[in-house]
Structure 1
Amino acid sequence: MRGDHRAHSTDTATGPPEPHSAGPRSPAEVREAVREALDNARRSRGPGATPDATAVGDVLLVASELTTNAMLHGGGVTAFEVIPGEREVRLSVSDRSEEVPRPVRDAGGPGSVRIGGHGWPIICRLARDIMISYLRAGGKRITAVVPLSPR
């Protein structure tokens, strides 16, 4: 996943999600799991390992948007994983759809307000790397790497 910014992959991922896995029930549940993982990582690294508050907010926002998109457009979340690193957090969300996210084009004129369609651009803006993998059992996994230091 290192290398080009926002690298997209069509490789088949090796670990298909459990077919009956409900995954997280809400973006709030995902945010809580991310907070817990970051707290555990901070405790294991000792004092001075607290990430920048803005960066933590970015991680929580990306986790929420990935989850919301899977729920709204991907047939539901089938798996979620958060892996905090020293300088970044890797978030993976799997869903039932094989459709790749794409930005929504603005159909309105100047001054129009568009409802929805903001999640994927937010993810692309805040994540350093993004990889999309198709799962053997069907569906896809989107993995986003979000830095833990200010941009």
Structure 2
Amino acid sequence: MCADYRTDSTDPATAPGRPCSPGPHSPADVREAVRHALEGARRSGGREGAGDDIAVGDALLVASELTTNAMLHGGGVTEFEVMLVDREVRLSVSDHSRELPTPAEHADGLGPMRIGGHGWPIICRLARDITIAELHAGGKRITAVVPLTPR
């Protein structure tokens, strides 16, 4: 079972004459795309491959954090893709920056009580595998694989 959703500035569904806007407009758009892909898998009879509620929540959170990070630190999202393969979801977000993500370092003593700076650690904790690739046209693509079976 494989379902995918892809949006980019060369989307053929874009009407002629309308300005193209690269990537999703918000993390909510990405969460909706992930929900749509998972619901499609459930409707096509792949319910067990579409994940339980906790796994789905993990996938939605990782997608949201990848997108937020691209928007805040990567110059904006240039492409988003979600693919369901067997019992995992592969989430790919591309942005304009070649700078690699790093955990935030703050010397304020607040530690985990600090607002912000938690996105990359959340992604690293919930994803089974993370790949970062430089893009020939510039920027990078981060792909995170989130299992859809109970941990």
Q: TM-score range by the shorter chain?
A: 0.7 to 0.9
Instruction: Give the distance between the partners of 1:42 and 1:112, measured in 2 at CA.
Output: 36
The CA RMSD over aligned residues, in Å, is 2.0
Unaligned runs of 5+ in 2: 1-7, 11-19
Q: Assess if the C-alpha contact under 8 Å between 1:21 and 1:79 holds in 2.
A: no
Instruction: Give TM-score scaled by structure 2 length.
Output: 0.82
Instruction: Give the distance between the partners of 2:106 and 2:132, measured in 1 at CA.
Output: 24
TM-aligned CA distance change 1:47 to 1:24, over 3 Å: closer
Following superposition of structure 1 onto structure 2, how do residues 103-122 of structure 1 map, counting pairs within 5 Å? 103-109=103-109, 113-122=113-122
Offset, 1:43: 1.8
The one-letter amino acid paired with 1:76 is G
Which residue of structure 2 lines up, in the alignment, with residue 81 of structure 1? 81
Number of equivalenced pairs: 135
The structure, 1 or 2, with the larger RCO (C-alpha pairs under 8 Å, 6+ apart) is 1
**Cα displacement string for residues 46-104 of structure 1 (whole angstroms, at most 9, x for unaligned residues):** 55555210000000000000000000000000000000122100000000000000001
The one-letter amino acid paired with 1:146 is V
Instruction: Give TM-score scaled by structure 1 length.
Output: 0.82
Q: Assess if the C-alpha contact under 8 Å between 1:132 and 1:142 holds in 2.
A: yes
The one-letter amino acid paired with 2:148 is L
Which residue of structure 1 lines up, in the alignment, with residue 147 of structure 2? 147
Unaligned runs of 5+ in 1: 1-16
